[in-house]
DNA sequence: TTTGCGATTATGTATAGACATTATCGCGGA
DNA sequence: TCCGCGATAATGTCTATACATAATCGCAAA
C-alpha cells in the first residue's frame, strides 16, 4: 500500500499540497477541505498519516477541525500572522488584499564592515543587494533592504525578481535552519518617510532577520514598517 | 495495556510531565531526556504515543532530537526573544549593571472597556494595576504598566512588591501556559518622555504581553522601551 | 595509533485496526 | 410545526508492528 514515486515523505507531500492550495486562495477561508477518508483514498495511505498532517495544520492555525463537520480552512487571524516568516504575498492573498511590490535597487556590491560584522562574512565580500517597496491597496506598507549571499544562493545572481519579491523567492528555494531576529524602534528620516508616505519622525518598527542554512549564511533582511500601521503579533506556548 | 486512572489523555499527561520538568529547571538545557522505550515503559503505552509527544515538543522547540543519540532539552531560543527582557534584575545581574525599580502607582481598580476587550475579561472587573519604572545605572530603561488578575493570583492583592518588581514576582509564582505578544513602535508623548528621560517624539518599542494559565487570564504587561536603547533579539529554528 | 566498517540503537515514517467522543442529520411522535 | 432521540459520520486517541534511516560504538585490520 506504500505510495510510490516520491522522494519526499508522504506526510510532507500531503502537507505541502494542502498548504499550497490554502495559500494560493484556491481553498479560501471557510472552505471545507476533504475528509480524512477522502485524502486517505487520494493518497493511498492510512488514516493515521492523514490525521497527523491535519492535526499539524490545525496546531499551526491553518485549519479548524470539528468532529462530524470536518475540517475547514481557518480565517486568517492576524493573531496567527506571527513573527515567524512573513511572506507579504501569501499573507495578502490570504487576507484578500491587493499586493504589489517594486524593486527600487538591485546590484551586486561588496558589503561594508558593519554588514560583515552582522552576517559573520568577510568584509568586502560581494553580495546581491536588493531594495524592495511592498505596497498593499496602493499604500506602502514596508521597505525592505536585503543582502543575499551568492555563495549560498548562486542562482540569485541573475534573478530579476519580476514575479516574486526576494523574500518569497528565497523562501521557495532555500530552506533555512537558523534565524536571528532583531526588532527595534526608530524614527523615520526624510528619505524613509518619503518612501513610506509618512511624516518625517514617525516611529517605525525595524525588523532585521538573518538566516543561515546549516551554518552557511543565506540572507539578511531589514524591513521597516510604519509603526502606526503594523505590529508584530505572536502567540506562544511555553517555549514555543 | 491501556493506562488507567487518568481523566486526561495520556498524550497530554506525558507532555505535561515533561514540560513541567523542563520548565522547573529539573531538566536543564542539554539534559538527555529518557529514551522513547523508557517513557513507553514508564507510562505503559506504545512507542507511537511517546513518539508523537516528543515530536510535538521538538516542533515547539522544547527539545532537540537526534537519531541514536536520543532527545535533549533544547537551549532556550525563541522564547528568548521576549523573555530576555522580562526579568530586568536577571539581565542586569548578568551584565554587571546596577538595577533598581520604582513603583509609581499601585491600586485595585475596575478595568476599562479596552482592557476588558484585550484580556477577554468582563468590563469593570477589578484588577491590580501597577506602574513600574525600571532603572539601570540611574538611567530609566523601561516603563511598565501591568494588570494582574486577582481571581487567578489572589496573593498579589496585598503584595507590596518591595523586593521584586511585579514581573519577576509573578514569574516566580505563576507558571503560564499561553502567552500573546504584541510589539509595535510609537512616539513618546510628553509624559512618557519625561518618565524615561528622553525627548518627546522619540521612537519607542512597546511590548504587550498577556499570559494565561490553563485558560485563566493571569496578567497583562505593557512595557515601553526607548527605541534607541533597546532591541528584542531572538533566535529561531523553522517550525517543523 | 589510526582508520574503516559492520553491528547496534534510537529515532522517523507509515500501516491497519480498534474504540471513544461528539456534533449533526433525519425520522417519528407530540 | 416543533421537539427529542437514536443513527450516523467524522475526528480523537491509542495499539502493535514493520521497515527505513542515521549516528554512534566497538572491534579488527592496516
Tell me the torsion sign for CA atoms A82, A85, A89, A90. negative
Mean pLDDT value across residues A66-80: 75
Strand D protein footprint, C-beta under 7 A: A 35-37, 47-48, 51, 54-55, 58, 65-71; B 1-3, 9-12, 44-49, 66-69
As a rounded value in angstroms, the CA-to-C1' distance for A221 and C17 is 50
Mean pLDDT value across residues A16-28: 85
The model's confidence at residue B79, banded by pLDDT at 50, 70 and 90, is very low
Distance from CA of B227 to the nearest CA of A (A): 5
Nearest one of B171, B160, B164 to B209, comparing CA atoms? B171
Give me the pLDDT at residue B207, please: 84
What is the set of domains in chain A, with CATH numbers? 10-75 (1.10.10.10), 91-226 (3.40.1410.10)
Task: Indicate yes or no: strand C within 7 A of the C-beta of A3.
Answer: yes
As a rounded value in angstroms, the CA-to-C1' distance for B26 and D26 is 33
Measured between beta carbons, which residues in chain B are less than 8 angstroms from residue A182? 231-234
Give me the pLDDT at residue B4, please: 45
Quote the DSSP letter at residue B32: B
Q: Do A84 and B233 touch (CB under 8 A)?
A: no
Task: Indicate yes or no: strand C within 7 A of the C-beta of A46.
Answer: yes
Give me the pLDDT at residue B181, please: 74
- A163-167, B103-107, B176-180, B234-238: which has the minimum mean pLDDT? B234-238
Give me the pLDDT at residue A3, please: 40
Among candidates B19, B180, B228 on the partner chain, residue whose Cβ is nearest the Cβ of A238: B19
- A82-86, B18-22, B30-34, B182-186: which has the minimum mean pLDDT? A82-86
Say yes or no to pLDDT of A5 above 70.
no
Taking the CB of residue A37, how many other CB atoms lie within 10 A of it?
10
Give me the pLDDT at residue A102, please: 95
β-partners of residue B184 are: B206
Taking all residues of chain A, what is their mean pLDDT, rounded to a whole number?
A: 82
Give me the pLDDT at residue B239, please: 31
**Chosen from B49, B142, B183 to mutate, greatest number of chain A CBs within 10 A:** B183
Q: Higher pLDDT residue, B65 or B88?
A: B65
* CB contact at 8 A, B219 and B149: yes
Give me the pLDDT at residue A145, please: 96
Nearest one of A177, A165, A162 to A213, comparing CA atoms? A177
Measured between beta carbons, which residues in chain B are less than 8 angstroms from residue A204? 185, 203
Quote the DSSP letter at residue B30: T
A151 CB near a chain B CB, below 8 Å? no
Task: Indicate yes or no: strand C within 7 A of the C-beta of A32.
Answer: no
- Nearest-Cα residue of chain A relative to residue B180: A235
As a rounded value in angstroms, the CA-to-C1' distance for B120 and C5 is 63
Nearest one of A97, A129, A118, A136 to A181, comparing CA atoms? A118
Closest amino acid to nucleotide D10 (CA–C1'): A68
As a rounded value in angstroms, the CA-to-C1' distance for A239 and D16 is 33
- A90-104, A226-240, B23-37, B177-191: which has the minimum mean pLDDT? A226-240
Mean pLDDT value across residues A144-158: 92
pLDDT digits (tens, 9 = 90+) for A38-64: 999 999 999 999 999 999 988 877 889
As a rounded value in angstroms, the CA-to-C1' distance for A16 and D18 is 26
A113 CB near a chain B CB, below 8 Å? no
pLDDT digits (tens, 9 = 90+) for A86-144: 556 555 555 667 888 999 999 999 999 999 999 999 999 999 999 999 888 898 988 99
Give me the pLDDT at residue B25, please: 74
Say yes or no to pLDDT of A220 above 50.
yes
How far, rounded to the nearest angstrom, does the alpha carbon of residue A20 sit from its chain's CA centroid? 13
Give me the pLDDT at residue A23, please: 72
pLDDT digits (tens, 9 = 90+) for B88-146: 554 555 455 678 899 999 999 999 999 999 898 999 999 999 999 998 889 898 999 99
What does the DSSP assignment read for A37-78? HHHHHHHT--HHHHHHHHHHHHHTTSEEEETTTEEEEPP--G
Tell me the torsion sign for CA atoms A79, A80, A83, A86. negative
Say yes or no to pLDDT of A221 above 80.
yes
Q: Higher pLDDT residue, B98 or B73?
A: B73
Mean pLDDT value across residues A82-86: 42
d(CA B16, CA B202): 44
Which nucleotide's C1' atom has the smallest distance to the CA of B58?
Answer: C11
Taking the CB of residue A127, how many other CB atoms lie within 10 A of it?
26
How far, rounded to the nearest angstrom, does the alpha carbon of residue B27 sit from its chain's CA centroid? 18
Amino acid at each position: 500500500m506504500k505510495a510510490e514515486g516520491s522522494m519526499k515523505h508522504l506526510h510532507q507531500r500531503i502537507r505541502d499540497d494542502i498548504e499550497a492550495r490554502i495559500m494560493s486562495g484556491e481553498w479560501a477561508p471557510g472552505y471545507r477541505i476533504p475528509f480524512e477518508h477522502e485524502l486517505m483514498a487520494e493518497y493511498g495511505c492510512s488514516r493515521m498519516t492523514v490525521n497527523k498532517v491535519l492535526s499539524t495544520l490545525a496546531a499551526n492555525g491553518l485549519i479548524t477541525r470539528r468532529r462530524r463537520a470536518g475540517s475547514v480552512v481557518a480565517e486568517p487571524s492576524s493573531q496567527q500572522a506571527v513573527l515567524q516568516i512573513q511572506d507579504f504575498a501569501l499573507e495578502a492573498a490570504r487576507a484578500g488584499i491587493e499586493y504589489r511590490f517594486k524593486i527600487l535597487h538591485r546590484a551586486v556590491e561588496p558589503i561594508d564592515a558593519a554588514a560583515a560584522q552582522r552576517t559573520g562574512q568577510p568584509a568586502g565580500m560581494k553580495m546581491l543587494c536588493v531594495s524592495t517597496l511592498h505596497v498593499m491597496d496602493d499604500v506602502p506598507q514596508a521597505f525592505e533592504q536585503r543582502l543575499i549571499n551568492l555563495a549560498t544562493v548562486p542562482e540569485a545572481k541573475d534573478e530579476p525578481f519580476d514575479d516574486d519579491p526576494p523574500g518569497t523567492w528565497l523562501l521557495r528555494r532555500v530552506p533555512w535552519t537558523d534565524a536571528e531576529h532583531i526588532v527595534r524602534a526608530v524614527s523615520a528620516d526624510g528619505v524613509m518617510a518619503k518612501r513610506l508616505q509618512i511624516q518625517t519622525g514617525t516611529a517605525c518598527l525595524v525588523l532585521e532577520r538573518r538566516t543561515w542554512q546549516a551554518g552557511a549564511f543565506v540572507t539578511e533582511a531589514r524591513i521597516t514598517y510604519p509603526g502606526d500601521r503594523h505590529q508584530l503579533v505572536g502567540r506562544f506556548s511555553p517555549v514555543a
